[in-house]
Chains A and B, each alone.
Chain A
Amino acid sequence: MLGNAHSPLRTTWTLLVLVVFLLTGRHGLAGDAQTPDGALEIERLKGEVAALSQELIELQQAAFYPADTRFFLFLSLASNDGLTPESIEIAIDGRPVVSHLYSEREKLSLQRGGAQALYTGNLSLGEHRLDITLAAQAQNDRYVRRESSLTFRKRAGETTIELQLAASPPDFEPSITLQDWQ
């Protein structure tokens, strides 16, 4: 408070809003910013780039992941109140393939039932190892960092594995369940 001793300058929520404005181009709440010149062209370009990216993603899926070796890994939360992930790192057979830091919106999405695509690629048939490093906040306000190694078997046909995170009371110790969606 102003009546208290001076404290060093810090970044604030306002700053965050300002910088987010700055980076995303969202304007005033009351629509007081007029549609700028060239905005329509930018919107068109955004749409076309997104369409092109979408086609490329579909093409990539079709061309490079033959059904028999296709492997897809995704993550979800078992419930919305036990655990909030902060970051995750995954290596398959010792090769790092995922490193993700969660944004607030992404955390909220997971808590609302969203699922994160962690990895899409090709794996040979047979056993493979997953090394998972998870940093998360448990419901009892405890930050946890856990490392785990698991094996799974890649079968013929498309393999989809779901990593389900959970933490149950009273100690909210994180657990990971692997589910095969073949």
Chain B
Amino acid sequence: MLDWGRYLSRQAIRTCAVLLVGGGLLVSVSQAAPRGTASAEHEQIRIRLAQFSVAGGRFAEALARVEDLDSPLALLLRAESLVGSGRSDQAIPILRQLTAGERYRGQSWLMLAEAAMNGATSVEVNIEQALDNAVRYGHGEIRERARFHQAELLRAQSMPERAGQVLATMEPGYWAAVGYQNVASDYARIDRSPARSLVALRVALALASEDAHVARGASLKSELLLQAGYLALQAEDFSKAEGFLKDIALDSYVTPEALFFHGQALAGRQNVREAMQSWHRAKKFPLAFPGAVEAWLGMGQGYDELGYLGQAGEAFLAANAAFDSEQVTLRSLAEEVRQRGAWRAMVEASRATDLEWFLADNRALAQPRQAYLLRFAESADGQSAIARVATLAELFRQLQSRKSDLEIFRQAIAYRQASIPSVGELETRLGRVDGRIGELADRLRRTAAHAGTGQSEQVDSLVQTLIDLRTVYHRLPGDRPAVARSLNQHLDQLALLEHRLDGLVERLVRAREEAEAMLDRQMLSFLSNEEERIRFAQDRAEQQVVYLYEHLALRKLEQEAQP
């Protein structure tokens, strides 16, 4: 017989049993050194798994992994998951506990402040104090975000200068740049001269270029340049405006508006031909975007300025036709919203619920439906309305999936209950298994005596499996009652969960109906305003055509009247 004791002791050492069989592949495989089995290491794994779950937004999964752990990182992950899954009130005590400790104090203070600022908790939090502490204990992004919030609080109290002082203490990067952008907006509202605003925007531009996230920094830069160009244009400083606007990337979201302003700046310097080139580019964008409608009209005015009256008339007629067609599009979109609801007609039909596909589709902006959806989502109210329905739709999908899981679990548990063998049956099988294991062990022992080095490892592995099988089989009769009891408990738990799930589905359906009705109202109002905007532009185009015809008719009469 084999020396079971020797193999059992080897099992306790726990080696890594890995063999490479995929020869010829470039990936190399190495055996890991054995680690200790201390539960601290398993806790570490659970924490690392929870970190990844939080990064993927799978908060329920993260909570299930770290619920009973109390290390600072586990507590932070629990708090993040609770906030992320809409349970900020439960997260507050955990965050308070962390703020009293040594680790993650800055992040915890910031999370407390943000939960209070977002109105996500009914628990009272001293926001100023929380931000002060986040700045004191936080580092890097945490400190910068906290400083940014401090500046925003001062702005909200109409103190942009003091907000600027706070921003001046920040490191260059995204948060400081956005802070200065907001301060520039305040100055633009307060001052008659754009000087202070432009200085703030220039600072913001310099800071945005330090953003480690290149794409985010580039997008912010385009927005800042547009803002600066517009301010310079308003102050009739056309050269300065042109200087800002010409640096805006052509693949930016603000490109059509920037092209229109760029044309205006050129026209302001009497460079109408080049202005028309910019407007010509702008009018290729959907009319939903700011600047596109104005660019269509600008083309007619440009020809008019240059004295090409016939072409001016044609340009205004073309604009008129485009505006007419756009109103038909808007009316049909509105009709679709009335019939199918805004969620299905605008969001689902735009495939905006599938982020990857929506972004991969380079026609997304060229379609009126998508363009108007994006414009609608520019406003905070629009975002909220869509986000409400999107959240509820996602929750509904999750619940449907959970319902199906419950049914599968019930069937599986029932199957397991039915398939638990009786004690007698187990004992009979145990006798047979012992016999077979003994027989196999003898054969292995005989084989081991003649085995080479490589074969010995395989024999060892098979012996180990036999030991495992024997251990498991011998445990089965003792485990049987506990397994049966546990399955019954699971069935009871399932019934409770199902009851709760049904109640949640009912509440969800009601909430979704209300949210969809609100989205419908807001979307219809937005589409109606857009139609009004296009109609107004069409009126202007028609007036220009009438003016031109009158002018041409008068000129013809004058020519005929001449001898």
Interface, chain A (partner B; CB < 8 A): 1-4, 6-39, 41-64, 66, 68, 74, 76, 103, 105-106, 108-110, 112-117, 125-127, 129, 131-132, 134, 146-153, 155-157, 160, 162, 164, 173-182
Contacts and interface: CB of A to CB of B under 8 A. Distances in A.
B161 interface: no
Given A22-B386, A126-B465, A160-B45, A30 B155 contact: yes
A42 to B, nearest CB: 6
A157 B42 CA distance: 15
- Between B32, B352, B387, B494, the greatest number of chain A beta carbons within 10 A of the residue's beta carbon is seen for B387
A120 to B, nearest CB: 11
A18 B17 CA distance: 49
Given A6-B281, A25-B387, A14 B253 contact: yes
Contacts of B223: 14
A175 B465 contact: no
Interface in B368-393: 374, 377-378, 380-381, 383-388, 390-392
B250 A7 contact: yes
A55 B483 CA distance: 20
B562 interface: no
Nearest 6 pairs of A and B residues by beta carbon? A25-B387, A149-B22, A46-B86, A109-B55, A50-B85, A179-B32
B497 A56 contact: yes
A2 B259 contact: yes
B246 A38 contact: no
A20 B374 CA distance: 11
A127 B362 contact: no
Contacts of B17: 152-153, 180
Given A10-B251, A22-B383, A50-B87, A148 B49 contact: no
B63 interface: yes
Given A2-B246, A19-B355, A112-B51, A150 B18 contact: yes
Contacts of B156: 30
Contact of A33 (B11, B49, B88, B383): B383
B524 to A, nearest CB: 18
A106 B56 contact: yes
Contacts of A117: 49, 52-53, 61
B364 A11 contact: yes
Given A2-B245, A114-B52, A152-B18, A22 B518 contact: no
Contact of B412 (A21, A26, A64, A74): A64
Given A49-B399, A59-B494, 13 more contacts: A1-B247, A6-B281, A12-B251, A17-B219, A18-B378, A19-B358, A22-B352, A22-B386, A24-B390, A33-B380, A36-B381, A68-B475, A151-B20
Contact of A177 (B32, B49, B285): B32
Given A1-B246, A46-B391, A56 B406 contact: yes
- Between A45, A109, A150, the greatest number of chain B beta carbons within 10 A of the residue's beta carbon is seen for A45
A62 B486 contact: yes
Given A2-B259, A46-B85, A57-B64, A181 B253 contact: no
A108 B52 CA distance: 9
Given A13-B219, A52-B402, A117-B52, A175 B359 contact: no
Contacts of A125: 465, 468-469, 472
A19 B352 contact: yes
Given A47-B85, A63-B409, A175-B29, A53 B507 contact: no
- Between A23, A127, A151, the greatest number of chain B beta carbons within 10 A of the residue's beta carbon is seen for A23
